[in-house]
Amino acid sequence: MSLAIVYTRAKLGVNAPLVTVEVHLSAGLPSLSMVGLPEAAVKESKDRVRSAILNSHLEFPARRITVNLAPADLPKEGGRFDLAIALGILAASGQLPLKALGNYEFLGELALSGELRLVSGALPAALACADNHRELIICNASASEAALSSGSRVFGAESLLQVCAHLHDREHLFQASAPEAIACEQIQDMSDVRGQAQAKRALEVAASGGHNLLFFGPPGTGKTMLASRLPGILPRLNEREMLEVAAVYSVAAQTQGHYWRTRPFRAPHHTASAIALVGGGSNPRPGEISLAHCGVLFLDELPEFHRHVLEVLREPLESGEVRISRARTQAIFPARFQLIAAMNPCPCGYFGNNDDRCRCTIDQVRRYRDRISGPMLDRIDMHVPVRALKQGELHSNNEGDSSQSIRERVEQSRARQLQRQGKANHLLTAPELEKYCPLHNSDKALLEHAIMKMGLSTRAYHRVLKVARTLADMQNKAQPDTENITEALSYRALDRQ
């Protein structure tokens, strides 16, 4: 029979849709034509495949070869289909058993020598392959990454010839195993931070409930130092989150080595473009907010970012995902990140200090702060001032709590939230807030008075309630009280200015 069918996977966001490679050999002048919406890199695969087959001492059929990549309306890019195309040609020409192909999916780019090369998106392909009850054969360089999917059977191969030997049952490929998933211990510890008791308290609250946080204060007071220590006090990734993070990095062709349980920490420069933050391109790729999924996105010098760049963060902060639409397709990337930002109070940085170093006018200060829009500021739960250290604090022997001890408290608080409502407090909806965050009448009156005086929006009101709920969980209280609400309101410092 001169028709062969081989299964492989495309790459679409963090998904891996099935692609069926159909190869037909017919009479006519020797040629190889490819249909099914292949892009330039895919069209070039016919030259790579021909050389790889010949250099593997196999026969390239001198017949008319038609290769169809189905479905035809799915865009296909890269060299990931080379191995499947080569195997389809060999099977259609009778050099491979057709029955052996149906149990496998194949993914890999071929070198001219027949060796297999690394491809991106190996983990999503392995997850989708397991759902279809098939086994995945991929290059050795990608096999350990693909094997992170516990329900998948992944085999690594060095070359086309090795894959052929496995399909002929002459030589068996070894099943790949996942690298040991260990957590990378943070070198930076919270005990390194001197003073700043309020800022450290706010950081623990933000970690406990997953809240967004903005530090503002003079330069050199430790805003960046505090933010960089947040991953060390966050709860460890669970199995589902680990796979989600690994899948994003797999699609982005980046790797975290063996530290798959480490929460990502991304700190893009303030000159980054909107596409760099949210992702994009003709073949959509994840941006910084997706690479920070289940982790921290740190924006230092927040007002220095272009305003339109900050505005693109508004929807992902609410939805937890980003949709990149193109003429032929739409890619969806997860983007459930925790935003930590830092800024100076004015252009020179010393507004509000008592040393008379600031020479900025009120108009200059207002224009500087107006670079951050009200809707963007509304989506940040906590605005916390970071003051200059007082005399003697820098050389104090009081180191404070370590990151490990703070993390233990954070995990206890997060466990209470998951047991009560199945999610962290920052994910609560308005109806869920009414259910899980009941208030006494006196506390409702206090909160309404603060809303009128501070001019808070409904969104900001809900975020104050979420922070108050977290503060109550940190103290193991059944519901927030006046103390929790007052402290939560104190974290809206920029609303009072």
**Tens of pLDDT along 242-290?**
889 999 998 988 865 545 678 899 999 999 999 999 998 878 889 999 9
The answer regarding whether domain 190-392 maps to CATH 1.20.1560.10 reads: no
Tell me the average pLDDT of the chain: 89
Are the CB atoms for 135 and 159 separated by under 8 Å? no
CA 330 – CA 324 distance, rounded (Å): 6
CA 317 – CA 337 distance, rounded (Å): 8
Residues 6+ apart with CB under 8 A from 156: 138, 139, 140, 142, 143, 144, 173, 174, 176
Are the CB atoms for 119 and 150 separated by under 8 Å? no
Q: What share of the chain is helix, strand, coil (3-state, %, to 5)?
A: 40, 20, 40
Are the CB atoms for 136 and 152 separated by under 8 Å? yes
Half-sphere exposure of residue 322: CA atoms within 13 angstroms, side-chain side: 29
**Tens of pLDDT along 52-66?**
999 999 999 999 999
pLDDT at 379 over 70: yes
**Tens of pLDDT along 299-317?**
999 999 999 999 999 999 9
**What is the greatest pairwise CA distance in the chain?**
90
What is the percentage of the chain residues whose pLDDT exceeds 70? 95
CA 487 – CA 198 distance, rounded (Å): 11
- All structural domains of the chain with their residue ranges: 3-167, 190-392
For residue 74, the model assigns a pLDDT of 86
**Tens of pLDDT along 403-461?**
899 999 999 999 999 999 999 999 999 999 999 998 988 888 988 888 888 888 888 89
**Tens of pLDDT along 196-252?**
889 999 999 999 999 999 999 998 888 999 999 999 999 999 888 988 999 999 898
C-alpha distances (whole Å) from 447 to each of 213, 374, 485 are: 21, 20, 7
pLDDT at 485 over 80: yes
For residue 151, the model assigns a pLDDT of 80
Beta bridge partners of 67: 23, 34
Phi, psi of 306 (to 5 degrees): -60, 140
For residue 235, the model assigns a pLDDT of 93
CA 63 – CA 216 distance, rounded (Å): 70
For residue 466, how far is the Cα from the chain centroid?
24
Whether 3-167 shares its CATH topology with 190-392 is answered no
CA 106 – CA 134 distance, rounded (Å): 10
Q: Shortest CA distance to 89 belongs to which of 184, 24, 11?
A: 24
- Across 39-45, average pLDDT: 81
For the stretch 276-296, what's the b/e string if a residue is b when 16 or more beta carbons lie within 10 angstroms of its beta carbon? ebbbbeeebbbbbbbbbbbbb
**More confidently predicted of 147 and 257:** 147
> Which CATH architecture does the domain made up of 3-167 adopt?
2-Layer Sandwich (3.30)
Structure confidence at residue 193 as a pLDDT band (50, 70, 90):
confident
Query: What count of other Cβ atoms lies within 10 Å of the Cβ of residue 118?
Result: 14
Are the CB atoms for 239 and 270 separated by under 8 Å? no
Name the pTM for this structure.
0.89
The residue whose two tokens read 């192909």 is: 101
Question: Which of 94-103, 211-220, 382-391 is least confident?
Answer: 382-391
Query: What count of other Cβ atoms lies within 10 Å of the Cβ of residue 221?
Result: 22
